[in-house]
Amino acid sequence: MQHTFCSFVRHMVRVICTVSWQGLILVILQSPDGDVIDCVPSHLQPAFDHPRLRGQKPEEEPAARPGNDHAMEDDDEEEVLPQTWRSSGEWCPKGTIPVRRTTEGDLLRASSVRRFGMKPRSAAARRDSTSNGHEHAVGYVSGGQFYGAKASLNVWPAQVSSPAEFSLSQIWVISGSFGNDLNTIEAGWQVSPELYGDNSPRFFTYWTSDAYQETGCYNLHCAGFVQTNGRVVIGAAITPVSAYGGRQFDITLMIWKDPKKGNWWLQLGPSGALVGYWPSSLFTHLGARGRGGADMVQFGGEAVNTRPSGSHTPTQMGSGRFPGEGYGRAAYFRNVQVVDWDNNLIPAAGLRLLADHPGCYDIAGGQGGAWGSYFYYGGPGRNVRCP
């Protein structure tokens, strides 16, 4: 039997429903931006529908983290990531995780319902190829084994001109070849009208174990990523965001491999809060325990141009401004680091910079001071240098 109680909080335009179902109390929250957030018991989250994860429960947090990073205390009330859904101060109850509900509207916007929540197969093209319409401005390290990556990146309300396009800024952890066996783990912020129905920058994750063919997805749209944090909604809007010529707002992300169990954990914010992990069993190259690390780590932006044979899209990357405009105007990554074989955070030595179309989206880096290894990146898309 199901019993439902809903209370309406008018001043925050928020609906809170409590549903009793099979002995469980399920809480439903409505965000001011229209998102519906389901508070799902941790052991019933989408990840555990995966055949390799059925019957499991979330793992305990790793005892050791790279470098001097630390865990947030359990009683720390600091907000992990400012998001619109949290503006009323409501949280999901202990023992549950907040999951952004997929609506009928989300499915109707999708170019393919079967591939809803997945990147196109063409996303696996090499970084020196732009024939697929995916354009990048990235810093990357390769030629070794990497066991994680960390950086801080500022968040912008990038303008996306077509529902079929997106703009994102993220960290990629990559292993395998850019053929059919590519493994990637990804996290950052993105603007995607098709996926979310608006132009808000949203926190996202992604993974694939077969070069974006049939495995993996954004956020929690498929079984895979195991969320352990009850204060972050993956796929929810980030607020505040950076303002041109004004206050800058950035987020700190770290992805790293637990050397004992081989899972890849996602850490968010200066407080060191863990969001969850990608189980090692999801992957081939990235899944090996011990010394099975990544061949490449990338940091930067990606924008989709759906008019590669005509005029270039005006979809922005980053702030929509070129790197030369600098702080307060251009998007940046700062304190760019990688995790070595001994679980140490070290500067990303030999960071190489690549812009597919510098006249559309460019990148320029530097080194030193409190920012360590850093770069500015992005651009407006179509302009006099990018017709």
Token output for 223: 């079984």
Q: Is 302 considered catalytic here?
A: yes
> Phi and psi for 274 in degrees, rounded to 5?
-90, 135
Q: Which amino acid is it at 287? A: G
Judge whether 375 and 333 are in contact, CB under 8 Å.
yes
140 to 147, 320, 337: CA distances (angstroms) = 14, 21, 11
The one catalytic residue among 90, 135, 165, 302: 302
Q: How many CB atoms lie within 10 A of CB 309?
A: 6
37 phi, psi to nearest 5 deg: -110, 120
What letter does residue 315 receive in the DSSP assignment? Answer: -
Place of tokens 């302009």: 383
State the CB neighbour count (10 A cutoff) for residue 195.
Answer: 21
Report CA-CA distances (Å) from 275 to 81, 278, 380. 10, 10, 32
d(CA 149, CA 136): 19
Sign of CA dihedral 157, 159, 165, 169: negative
What tokens appear for 83 in the block? Answer: 């998001």
Torsion, Cα of 143, 144, 150, 152 (10° steps): -20
Q: Respond yes or no: is residue 325 known to be catalytic.
A: no
Contact (Cβ atoms closer than 8 angstroms) between residue 146 and residue 298: no
Specify the 3-state DSSP secondary structure of 341. coil
Determine phi and psi for 84, rounding to 5 degrees. -60, -40
Residue 31 near residue 85, CB atoms below 8 Å: yes
What is the rounded distance in angstroms from the CA atom of residue 21 to the CA atom of residue 80?
Answer: 30
Of 73, 186, 194, 325, the active-site residue reads 186
CA separation for the pair 31, 138 (Å, rounded): 33
Catalytic residues: 186, 302
